[in-house]
Amino acid sequence: MSKYIPTIGIEVHVELKTKTKIFSSSENGYGQMANSLVNEVDLGYPGTLPTLNEEVINLGIKAATILNCKIRKQMFFDRKNYFYPDNPKNYQITQNRTPIGYDGYVEIEDNGVKKKIYIEEMHIEEDTCKSTHRKDKTLLDFNRAGVPLIEIVTKPCMTSSHEAKLYLEKLKELLFYADVSDCKMEEGSMRADANVSIRKNESDPFGTKAEIKNIGSISNVGLSIEKEIERQTKLYDNGETFKEQTRRFDDKLGDTVLMRVKETGNDYRYFPEPDIPFVIITDEMIENVKKTIPMLPDERREVYKNLGVSDINTTKLVQNRSLSDYFNELLNEKINFQVASNLLLGDISAYLNKNEKLITDTTLSKDRFLELVKLMDDKTLTSKNLKDILDDILESDKSIKDIIKEKGIENITDDKEIREVIKTIIEANPESVNDYKNGHDRAIKFLMGQVMKETKGKVNPGLAMEILTEELK
Amino acid sequence: MKYLEKPIKEINDLLKKGTIKPIDLVEEAFERIESDKDLNAYITLNKEEALEKARELEGKEVDNLLFGIPIAIKDNILTKDLRTTAASHILDNFIPIYDATVVEKIKEKNMIIIGKTNMDEFAMGSSSRTSYFGAPKNPWNNNKISGGSSGGSATTIAARHVPFALGSDTGGSIRQPASYTGIVGMKPTYGRVSRYGVIAFASSLDQLGPMTQNVLNNALLLNVISGHDSHDMTSSHREVEDYTRLIGKDIKGKKIAVPKFLMSDIVDSEIIEKIESVIEMLKENGAVVDYVDMKYLDNAVTLYQIIAMGEASSNLARFDGIRYGLSAKDPKSHEDLYLETRREGFGKEVKRRIMVGSYLLSGDNAKTYYNKALSIRDDMATEFDKVFEKYDYVIGPTTTTTAYNLDDPMDDPSKSFMDDVLVIPVNMAGLPGLNIPVGFDKNHMPIGMHIIGNKFQEAEMYRLGSFIEKELDLDLNPKGGK
């Protein structure tokens, strides 16, 4: 155990899922040809002015709401002035003095213990353009310039890399479910900076901090925090100190690397953006946005559990938003939800993954799915049957019953008929019956095999097993 | 050929009848400009394109009063495919890829853009002498300045080259040169005219406006350029009215305030006397005129400098040699590119204002200076509100002196701001201000009167302006003969 207490704060930038950029009518898109989603505003052309995209304000309100933030009713934008080639106007329009959201929290759960990670503030700003360095040249792609961002800043309230990772996972899940951002760290639509310091006792002031910038994955956030704690611990143990600094995580080294020591008086010359009037957020706007927030992951997990869905299925369902959304359409039905979740997460998921489809791309309407769940639940269909007819179920509009008929699936569902077959088999195999009664469990499997053989697989194995066990008593 | 000096309605009739064609007006304009080349009114002429446009218009219906009429555009207003320099070396090769909203509006009316007028570099100055292309000259006396920053537009209008010009006014840059050259210049209410496509100097103060030889033309051009623009969030949604509708109407019973500060000893006595004589004339015609005390007017210049230079330092940051304009050759690094491009590209006054502005916004200074200036500015606006509760207009002289000599020293940086001491409060309060020529000094240099209106009261201001224009009936042609 380390003898130091780490203090960690996280800053996250997420790109908002809007049609157009924050201050211009250019498309907000990823992966397009360089400089194809650009107009004179994005290029910081002389004479251009920003026009605020209303969608951004609405997504800002949404994010603030789901992060339990208070919402600023009257806000403005500020200019952050600094020269850099990726900054087209050499100032960035951001919110320094009136962030849209403040004093919020995200609740994480660590081994059943809940903890609130406090959000200091969240503000709206524009993204910079993307620079790529080639030998002695720098190439600039302005497609990203002006993409709307929100920056979410926690208080320095986390004490381990594990907590930081849980926070990021939770944040990502929330923003993704609320359709605020697609939160793809690999595409840069979610980026994290971690502020790390350590101290001996909780009563001590915070130690000198290092900021690790632009970490590309949640696991690397965890790794870089651990490495940083290790580095700082070594320094303190050797009686050394260090200056406040900015570092980055080097993937190949698996360690943090110094970028720059914080210069004193880093001065962004903030002042209120004169080209954008005050933005007034009314209660009505907030209410309208709230109506668009879907059921969030925590509530989904709670609801699924209460419907009898297993823990593992609950977790898996919530990990897949399109399946979870599909599942949510069924919540008022009287069905076996465990069976329904098994279906979705089992063969249907396998099909969807193989064919790279979403459930909404298939022909499985709600009514047909309900029919399927009932047929599985009352054991009319076996899982083997399901495998045989799944493609038809997901690709045609026929009713499940018609498909069953077409495929010639006639399961013996009559108890009496099955019992007759089983009795015959017991009579014909006295040794196996004897073995079973002597405690050789394997014998029952042999007998089951005989039953399936006799019925050509048309009995429900579960049902047959039940009757066989009874008959063997 | 003297069509361009005819009243706009006559020109319009001649065009409608087919007696003249737009190309006749364009050719006449270029003849006038070329014979006055030494006035240095233009940075870039648009001759070929203007002639082509005039030919293009020949088949079209003359559907509005400004159809086919030549217009000059200040060179900080972007014109697609036509060089726009803001009188700066840093943009002397800059060909815009889009039109400013006002230029779009002018083109919609089929006005013909003759060229881009000279000005102070990035509109920073009050004599147009900070222009990279040399200062324009005053048509009344070629040794005198025509004022600034819209000096080229003032020169070309005063010299009768064209009937219409656009200027921009951040701290008097339309009204002061209008006063120095004896023309009509309006700075509309902040937000009345879109700023989209105007190279920003101080965003919270900049406003475009018409510069013309008479009040009617001024109002006609304001009709064209006004209105909300979805590209400019600071532009007003207020409906555009017909700004000519009160021209020629009576002023009986109108209440006029004259702030004592504007008639104090900072103003030349000759100018005071002239304004007083106009005030007498207005009283004789039934206007009620009171001298009033107004707070904050004497602070306006200081506050203006803080706000204007602070905003300018940020607005001009984009000129870095990367995407457009001048770009230093073979830079060693991107910092080097910034330093070399900006050192070479910006003139002395612009550099001075960027440095002062950056200082004013640095660290705690932003609180001490910029934020405080913004709050006193609100107080100043409130002070005007109070006056406008009782009065229809606030009037005074536009400038403290008439135009001075081109070779007067430029070594006192605050001089250029003090030239605008009487007009700056209007920008600070976001109000409209109008210069009307009211006479001449002993050297026959024009004197202007400043009419300040309440927000969006431009039509009312044209009422008073046109009344004075009609009553005084001055000969405002520098070459004489009206």
Interface check B198 vs A, CB under 8 A: yes
Q: By CB neighbour count within 10 A (0-12 exposed, 13-18 middle, 19+ buried), where does B335 fall?
A: exposed
B233 contact residues in A (CB cutoff 8 A):
49-52, 275-277
Contact call for B320 and A269, based on CB within 8 A: no
Domain match, A437 and A301 both: no
* pLDDT 10s digits, B239-278: 999 999 999 999 999 999 999 999 999 999 999 999 999 9
Nearest residue, CB atoms, B370 vs list A40, A48, A271: A271
Render A26-80 in DSSP notation, one character per residue.
Answer: SB--SSPPTT-S--TTTTT-TT------HHHHHHHHHHHHHTT-EE-SEE--EEE
The answer to whether the CB of A106 falls within 8 A of the CB of A170 is: yes
Distance CA A433, CA A429 (A): 7
In-domain check, residue A168: yes
Nearest C-alpha in A relative to B199: A47
Nearest residue, CB atoms, A275 vs list B234, B366, B371: B234
Q: Which of A45, A141, A142 to mutate to test the interface with B (most CBs of B within 10 A)?
A: A45
> In the block, which residue shows the tokens 């907590």?
A163
Nearest alpha-carbon partner for A262 in A169, A183, A195: A195
In-domain check, residue A68: yes
* pLDDT 10s digits, A423-445: 888 888 888 888 888 888 788 88
Domain end, chosen from A285, A312, A331, is at: A285
pLDDT on residue A113:
94
Nearest residue, CB atoms, B98 vs list A40, A271, A275: A40
Contact call for A45 and B324, based on CB within 8 A: yes
A90 contact residues in B (CB cutoff 8 A):
317-318, 320
Distance CA A265, CA B141 (A): 52
Average pLDDT for A243-268? 87
Average pLDDT for A469-473? 82
B313 CA: distance to closest CA in chain A (Å): 9
The angle at the Cα of B331, spanning B327 to B334, to the nearest 5 degrees, equals 85
The answer to whether the CB of B242 falls within 8 A of the CB of B188 is: no
Domain match, A461 and A377 both: no
Domain match, A428 and A339 both: no
Contact call for A271 and B361, based on CB within 8 A: yes
- Which residue type does B477 have? N
Is pLDDT of B394 > 90? Answer: yes
Number of other residues whose CB lies within 10 A of the CB of residue A39: 17
pLDDT on residue A266:
65
pLDDT on residue B1:
56
What is each CA distance from B144 to B136, B151, B407, in whole angstroms? 9, 11, 8
Domain match, A251 and A383 both: no
For residue A376, give every residue at least 6 positions away whose Cβ sits within 8 Å of its Cβ, in sequence order, or none.
Answer: A339, A343, A383, A386
Contact call for B204 and A265, based on CB within 8 A: no
Distance CA B191, CA B78 (A): 18
pLDDT on residue A235:
95
Domain match, A344 and A455 both: no
Residues 73-92 of A with CB under 8 A from B: 79, 81, 83-85, 88-91
Contact call for A49 and B196, based on CB within 8 A: yes
- Which residue type does B351 have? K
Distance CA A338, CA B235 (A): 59
DSSP-derived 3-state class of residue A419: helix
Chain length of chain B:
482
Q: By CB neighbour count within 10 A (0-12 exposed, 13-18 middle, 19+ buried), where does A338 fall?
A: middle
Is pLDDT of B328 > 80? Answer: yes
Average pLDDT for A39-52? 98
For residue A204, give every residue at least 6 positions away whose Cβ sits within 8 Å of its Cβ, in sequence order, or none.
Answer: none
* pLDDT 10s digits, B128-181: 999 999 999 999 999 999 999 999 999 999 999 999 999 999 999 999 999 999
In-domain check, residue A290: no
Percent of all residues in chain A with a pLDDT value above 90, rounded to a whole number:
73
Say if strands B112-117 and B208-212 run parallel, antiparallel, or are unpaired.
unpaired
Average pLDDT for A354-375? 93
pLDDT band at A265; cut points 50, 70, 90: low
Chain length of chain A:
473
Contact call for A46 and B98, based on CB within 8 A: no
Contact call for A91 and B199, based on CB within 8 A: no
Average pLDDT for A232-260? 93
**Count of domains observed in chain A:** 3
Is pLDDT of A1 > 50? Answer: no
Nearest C-alpha in A relative to B201: A47
Contact call for A51 and B231, based on CB within 8 A: yes
Percent of all residues in chain B with a pLDDT value above 70, rounded to a whole number:
99
The answer to whether the CB of B49 falls within 8 A of the CB of B26 is: no
Q: Which of B231, B234, B235, B377 to mutate to test the interface with A (most CBs of A within 10 A)?
A: B231
Q: pTM of this prediction?
A: 0.91
Q: Tell me the CB-side half-sphere exposure of residue A297, using CA atoms within 13 A.
A: 25
Arithmetic mean of pLDDT over chain A? 92
pLDDT on residue A337:
96
pLDDT on residue B80:
98
Domain match, A147 and A232 both: yes
Domain match, A127 and A203 both: yes
Interface check B97 vs A, CB under 8 A: yes
Domain end, chosen from A406, A437, A454, is at: A406
pLDDT on residue A413:
67
Average pLDDT for A163-192? 95
* pLDDT 10s digits, B83-135: 999 999 999 999 999 999 999 999 999 999 999 999 999 999 999 999 999 99
DSSP-derived 3-state class of residue A455: helix
Distance CA A64, CA A16 (A): 13
A82 CA: distance to closest CA in chain B (Å): 9
In-domain check, residue A59: yes
Contact call for A44 and B318, based on CB within 8 A: yes
As a whole number of Å, the end-to-end CA separation of chain A is: 58
B234 CA: distance to closest CA in chain A (Å): 6
Distance CA B474, CA B181 (A): 13
Contact call for B324 and A276, based on CB within 8 A: no
Domain match, A150 and A84 both: yes
What is each CA distance from B458 to A227, B237, B285, B451, in whole angstroms? 67, 16, 21, 10
Is pLDDT of A200 > 50? Answer: yes
What is each CA distance from B420 to B298, B304, B446, in whole angstroms? 12, 10, 16
Interface check A97 vs B, CB under 8 A: no
- Which residue type does A190 have? M
Distance CA B117, CA B52 (A): 20
Is pLDDT of B416 > 90? Answer: no
* pLDDT 10s digits, A116-131: 999 999 999 999 999 9
pLDDT band at A387; cut points 50, 70, 90: confident
The angle at the Cα of B62, spanning B56 to B67, to the nearest 5 degrees, equals 75
B133 CA: distance to closest CA in chain A (Å): 20
Distance CA B159, CA B126 (A): 19
* pLDDT 10s digits, B43-80: 999 999 999 999 999 989 999 999 999 999 999 999 99
The enclosing domain of A465 has a CATH number of: 1.10.10.410
Contact call for A51 and B78, based on CB within 8 A: no
Render B182-250 in DSSP notation, one character per residue.
Answer: T-EEEEPPTTSB--TTB--SSTTT--EEEEESSHHHHHHHHHHHBS--TT-TTS--SPP--TTTTTT--
Distance CA A130, CA A141 (A): 5
As a whole number of Å, the end-to-end CA separation of chain B is: 15
Distance CA A365, CA A393 (A): 10
Domain match, A201 and A65 both: yes
Domain end, chosen from A382, A406, A430, is at: A406
Residues 227-246 of B with CB under 8 A from A: 230-234
The answer to whether the CB of B316 falls within 8 A of the CB of B122 is: yes
**Active-site annotation of B, residues:** 74, 149, 173
Arithmetic mean of pLDDT over chain B? 96
Nearest residue, CB atoms, B197 vs list A47, A265, A272: A47
Residues 368-407 of A with CB under 8 A from B: none
pLDDT on residue A472:
82
Extract the tokens encoding B274. 């002239």
Q: Which of A49, A77, A263 to mutate to test the interface with B (most CBs of B within 10 A)?
A: A49
pLDDT on residue A3:
84
Domain boundaries, chain B: 3-253+432-472
Residues 390-449 of B with CB under 8 A from A: none
pLDDT band at A379; cut points 50, 70, 90: confident
pLDDT on residue B277:
98
Domain match, A192 and A67 both: yes
| Strand (E) or helix (H) holding A395 | helix A383-395
Q: By CB neighbour count within 10 A (0-12 exposed, 13-18 middle, 19+ buried), where does A11 fall?
A: middle
Q: Which parts of B329-371 fold into alpha helices (H)?
A: 334-345, 348-361, 365
Extract the tokens encoding A241. 């100190």
**Structure ipTM over 0.90, yes or no:** yes
Percent of all residues in chain B with a pLDDT value above 90, rounded to a whole number:
94
CATH number of B3-253+432-472: 3.90.1300.10
> In the block, which residue shows the tokens 């994480």?
A108
Domain match, A273 and A374 both: no
CB pairs under 8 A between A and B: 100
Distance CA B262, CA B450 (A): 10
Domain match, A366 and A271 both: no
Percent of all residues in chain A with a pLDDT value above 70, rounded to a whole number:
98
Contact call for B310 and A271, based on CB within 8 A: yes
Nearest alpha-carbon partner for A384 in A461, A444, A277: A461
In-domain check, residue A180: yes
Contact call for B314 and A271, based on CB within 8 A: yes
A26 contact residues in B (CB cutoff 8 A):
none
Range of the domain at A199: 5-285
Distance CA B42, CA B33 (A): 9
